[in-house]
Amino acid sequence: MRIVIIGGHGRVARLLAPLLVNAGHQVEALVRSADHIDEVEAAGAVAHLADLECLDKAAMVDLFAGHEAVVWCVGPTRDDPERTMSVDRDAAIRSIDAAAEAGVQRYVLVSHSRTGRLPGSPGDPHGPYAEAMAAADAHLRSTCLNWTILGPGALTDRPGNGMLEAGDHVTCGDTSRANVARVIRQVICKDDLAGVTLNFRDGHMPIAEVLQVTTMVAG
């Protein structure tokens, strides 16, 4: 499968790329800075320099053409609420529309377990990001793409052990970035998870079992 990772220099993406490459996929990654190219390509991906804020839909269509899957793996841009909306909402929505126009079938979006489900408190620094991702999530759900939305809890750099707790009750909790990468790796080829939002955090059930249960519930 030919896969594009958006946000290719993010910490989850850098863990994900070698997992996908080792599974036999061809991986390309969009990066914002030329300084990131060597590190991303050392993980086995082909890097493309692309500033998401400036990249219009037509340019995204060109990048996505001929690919079977797109993974939105962009870390939160919380430093500036306007930039958060520009990237986490507007660029995400452009990428979704571009994927559909380019004929991509599979779209996996890494969101957050709280997105669209828990109201933020006044002055919450995560509020703009939650609002932005809620809009992106809703837009993706409205398309005909074969989509899956992943909602991990608060991300950590702890080693991933491949064990999760998942379900609609999960709205918080630590989630290893390594586990998120492992989930994407397994979800990307599972068409039976189309139209599913999976909220999860680190837990005690193997990822494969979590996905099997999720598939049964979704079916």
One-letter identity of residue 207:
I
Q: What's the pLDDT band for 126 if we cut at 50, 70, 90?
A: low
Query: Per-residue DSSP letters for 123-185?
Result: T-TTHHHHHHHHHHHHHHHTSSSEEEEEEE-EEE-SPP-SEEEESTT----EEEHHHHHHHHH
Beta-carbon-side half-sphere exposure of residue 10 (alpha carbons within 13 Å): 23
Q: State both tokens at 158.
A: 């702890």
Which amino acid would we find at residue 153? G
pLDDT at residue 22 tops 90: yes
pTM: 0.93
* pLDDT value, residue 121: 47
- CA–CA separation, 16 vs 27, rounded Å? 10
First-to-last alpha carbon distance for the chain, in angstroms, is: 25
- pLDDT-based confidence at residue 122 (cuts at 50, 70, 90): very low
Residue type, position 161, single letter: N
CB 78 within 8 A of CB 128: yes
pLDDT value at residue 130: 84
pLDDT digits (tens, 9 = 90+) for 3-18: 999 999 999 999 999 9
Classify residue 189 as left (phi > 0), alpha (psi -120 to 50) or beta. alpha
Are the C-beta atoms of residues 34 and 49 closer than 8 Å to each other?
yes
Q: Which residues are 79's β-sheet partners?
A: none
Checking if the pLDDT of 117 tops 90, the result is no
**Residue 124, pLDDT score:** 54
pLDDT digits 0-9 by tens, 162-182: 999 998 888 888 999 999 999
Structure-block tokens of residue 135 = 């809009």
Q: What is the pLDDT at residue 83?
A: 86
